[in-house]
Chains A and B, each alone.
Chain A
Amino acid sequence: MSEFIERAKFACALGGAISTLTALPKVVPIVHAAGGCAGYLSNTYSMAAGYKGSGFCGGSMLPTSNIAEQNIVFGGEDRLAEQIEHTIFALDGDLYVVITGCQVEIIGDDSISVARRYRDRNVIGASTPGFLGNALRGYDSVLSSIVEDVVEPAGTRDPLTVNIFGAVPGQDVFYRGNLDEIKRLLGLIGIRANTFFATGENVASIKSYGAAALNLVLSPAAGIAPAERFQEVHGTPWLQTELPIGPSGSAVFLRQAGEALGVDRITVEKAIRAEDAAYYSFFERIVDIYSDLDLQRYAIVVADSYYAHPLTRFLANDLGWIPYLTAINDIEEADAQAAYTERFRDISSETKPLIVYERNAGRLLEIVRNSRPRNDNRKYYDALEPAYVVGSVIERGLAEKLGAGFLSVAFPVSNRVVLNRGYAGWTGGLALVEDLLTGIVASR
């Protein structure tokens, strides 16, 4: 049984599918569901993901079958077929993707087969009902269909090309800035990266993704399913990596990718050294105040598994903060939790963070309080201060109660406007330092 949700940090699978498809240029989703699903879910990501907007064909433009009671009783396949035909007529897309809501899946519509009838007109389908699970399942389902039906078999492999999976648009509020930087990073060591969503990519380029030698998956919770499908269909292996944030994470990432693709070590190390030098030439500016203003903090990280470890590692290994608590909200199985906890072995600070798997944001304050000895009015009580919370906007209340600094990075982010900002790479590390420390000096 799933847990109750109080403050939602994910929409459902259909929400993730919509957010994913509307991030692809000239891709038209066709939502086979009741009238409210598409608009509500699209608005959620439009408003709670740094105001990313509705996109090329999102928002209230989303084509929807708007099935009603008669379709629930008699089936909705004919209505879907009609909607597909007319969508192709009225909308000019490079790709049309039928995605499904709960209603039509329960009544047994075979939506993917209906979509297949229009395969020659660039229509594909993916099963994405909300009850499947959270938004990551929608991303997985849609990308798996694209991998199978859109990516073309390649005659020859390019040994220095990779495809990137796991950055879920909207769920990663900074997906586009992050992916642009990941392309740049890999480019430094001669690797060409396809990312689906970065600047300049489109359906035509996605068709050629079959030529990649390797797929890199940035998240432990999203992207594995399409990467596995890729392996089945195109024979391409995949490798679990992580979102690289700042110098430590980016160096690990480049070494891992370089080794997997046989890039010589000297090239990789040279690139890392050059990036480190550039990074510290900027970072050096705040050294004057790091001590003078006492900018070290106890760090509390509350995020999904895509961000939790990379953020903690950056704060501890690159920014010198003390990682106190890291709460992860999207891993449920005990084995997967244990495997994820292993990742924190690379935290180089003396203090290791307390790792908890907790989906209910309301319980975090209690967890923090129970983790400390009681004050009992002792004169020299060692309070958890100064502290800083990096989480979603939902953790703003936690930060206020702890008297801690606060930055929202994980979804939902409704208190910031995000355009091309990203936290990946050395560039992203600098941006993150700016955002974290600006919060501390803002009132000066």
Chain B
Amino acid sequence: MSLANKTVDIRENRLHTILHYNGDAQDLNERGKKGELQIGNSGYEQCGNCQEGCAVGQVYGILDAALIEHAPLGCYATISASCVSGKSTAKARGKGVFHNKAICTNISERETIYGGTEILREAILEAKKRYDPRVIFVTTACVSGIVGDDVEGTARDTQDEIGVPVISISCEGFKSRIWSSGFDIAFNEILRIVREPRKKQDDLVNIFNFVGSDTFTPLLSMLNLRVNYLPSQTTVEELSQISEAACTATICETLATYIGDELERRYKVPQVKAAAPYCLGWTDRWMREVAKLTHRESLAEQVIQKENERIRPELEVLRKELGNQRVYVFAGDAYAHNMANIASDLGMEVVGMTTYHHDQYADTREINTLNFMVESVGNVPNYTVCNKQPYQVLKFLKALKPDILIVRHQALAVYGYKLGIPTIFEADSNKCVGYDGIIELGRRIKRVFQTRKLIQNISENAELPYTDWWMDEGTDPFYFEGEHQ
């Protein structure tokens, strides 16, 4: 295990990520490529996520690792939901029964005064005793950061005592305004358990993803390739071998281009430099790219032809039925591009999009999902960037009146319903992958249209908290931007 590791800078510095933009996709793409946009500020904000949550999400699901959140119990409150999705993902992927192996140090007022390294040390010993893990991850929180606990030093000292690697992840929420910085920080530490390749595994494909269904195995098994889902639901041993894979791909470039880039640089594992396989065209291109990296070009052509023919009849019907529908996408940066792309492939008109942030470029410069989307969908008007901020999105939706809204994060679909717009929550981010994925999304959109009556009733009875001034069509949705203390 390599103990010396470089640190990774937060995205606002490294990728010149922005949080505020109003314009269209083409303009953002052109100006973003030059990195000329500023992160932006607003004098009124609603809540987002934090980088600790993103970091915890990456290491929590590693099967034989334990996690210690060195935090007050509130930061740990999301673990219940993570445990539920961990269990269902394990079931969906035939990984047996998933067990929670996380502990919260439960920092109280006392530790904010006297420091918390002693309880952290005890928690590490306790985790070793309770779970006998291969690796223990320790995440920091705002409190441990501000109080100044030496988490890294405590981890290092205790590691020697128990003989199990203890890896600290410094991910205090306040340290980055771009919560997806937490992915990079977690992956940077996960790289410590990756070993030098012993033998190349020519049929192994690294797939970085969140939790959810197993849609890559049906796709890649047609090319006689094995899927290595990362990092959730893998063992430490499987993680240590990712340096031996034939190539690396991701379902969402916002998630994993940092580690993809590092694997390429450190261990010569090439990245699939095509857009993720969402929609027909992108799936074909992604399959070809994987095939090229794994030397299966002619097999891929056969598969592509066969699969295209297989789904064509239903796809044609769906395109006919869904054509002319106007869709709005509200999701994370790269994933929003995936969704817009499928919707467009289903014949729908993408009338607007909001992404939670925008990386002006990725760690690997050739991977630019906005550029991929503009090439495939064309320009998308009404393209905005904001850190969730339902108060703004509400005004975009009221002005554009789309027929359907697609969101990616929890607790956002509810606003579509309250406005009377049929809405799809893309909880399982693997679901729309590949040839079957496009059909799947089409069927789901058709299904949600059948709940129109309910959605209408909800919107007629919903009470929104905004003032008449804010709801007025004449009020600029960007009124508060630029002001910030």
Contacts and interface: CB of A to CB of B under 8 A. Distances in A.
B467 to A, nearest CB: 4
Given A8-B76, A102-B143, A83 B44 contact: yes
Contact of B44 (A3, A57, A86): A86
A56 B463 contact: yes
Contacts of B468: 92
Contacts of B83: 7
A52 to B, nearest CB: 12
A5 B44 contact: no
Interface string A108-148: 00000000000000000000011111100000000000000
Contacts of B143: 102-103, 106, 130-131
Given A47-B81, A82-B483, A86-B480, A39 B465 contact: no
A134 B44 CA distance: 29
B132 interface: no
B48 interface: yes
B80 A90 contact: no
Contacts of B179: 35-36
9 contacts: A1-B110, A40-B78, A47-B80, A61-B465, A90-B469, A93-B465, A106-B147, A107-B146, A362-B130
B75 A130 contact: yes
Interface in A1-21: 1-8, 10-15
A35 B103 contact: no
Interface string B39-61: 00001111111111100000000
A48 interface: yes
B49 A36 contact: yes
Most buried by A among B49, B78, B107: B78
Interface in B66-84: 72-81, 83-84
A12 B106 CA distance: 9
Chain A interface residue number, banded: 35 or more
B431 interface: no
A65 interface: yes
Interface in B428-485: 463, 465-470, 480, 483-485
Interface stretch (B150-158, B169-177, B253-261, B338-346): B169-177
A6 B175 CA distance: 26
A135 B53 CA distance: 19
A61 B390 contact: yes
Contacts of A15: 74, 77
Contact of B142 (A38, A53, A86, A101): A101
Contact of A7 (B100, B130, B177): B100
B53 A36 contact: yes
Interface stretch (B205-213, B273-281, B297-305, B406-414): B406-414
A4 B126 contact: yes
Nearest to B108: A2
A60 B45 contact: no
A54 B173 contact: no
Interface string B175-218: 11101000000000000000000000000000000000000000
Contacts of B105: 4
A66 B409 CA distance: 19
B74 A37 contact: yes
Contact of A82 (B43, B102, B465): B43
A56 B465 contact: yes
Contact of A8 (B48, B51, B80, B111): B80
A4 B412 contact: no
B123 interface: yes
Nearest to B118: A1
B174 A12 contact: no
B467 A5 contact: no
A103 B77 contact: no
B334 to A, nearest CB: 20
Contacts of B84: 414
Contacts of B106: 2-5
B109 interface: yes
Interface string B136-162: 000001110011000000000000000
Interface of A: 1-8, 10-15, 26, 28, 31, 34-44, 46-48, 53-54, 56-57, 59-69, 71-72, 78-79, 81-83, 86-87, 89-93, 101-103, 106-107, 129-134, 362, 412, 414
A8 B44 contact: no
B465 A11 contact: no
B400 interface: no
B52 A36 contact: yes
A31 B80 contact: no
A59 B414 contact: yes
A79 B43 CA distance: 8
Contacts of B130: 6, 362
* The 10 residue pairs across chains A and B that have the minimum distance between CB atoms: A36-B50, A12-B74, A86-B44, A130-B72, A38-B47, A130-B74, A78-B485, A11-B77, A59-B411, A64-B47
Contacts of A38: 47
A131 B113 CA distance: 11
A172 B103 CA distance: 24
B317 interface: no
A411 to B, nearest CB: 10
Contacts of B387: 35, 66
B466 A92 contact: yes
A39 B103 contact: no
Contacts of B78: 40, 43-44
Given A14-B74, A31-B47, 8 more contacts: A36-B179, A39-B47, A47-B80, A54-B411, A61-B391, A86-B43, A86-B480, A102-B112
Contacts of B463: 56
A102 B142 contact: yes
B388 interface: yes
Contacts of A102: 72, 112, 141-143, 146
Interface in B372-408: 387-388, 390-391
A259 B79 CA distance: 45
A247 B44 CA distance: 51
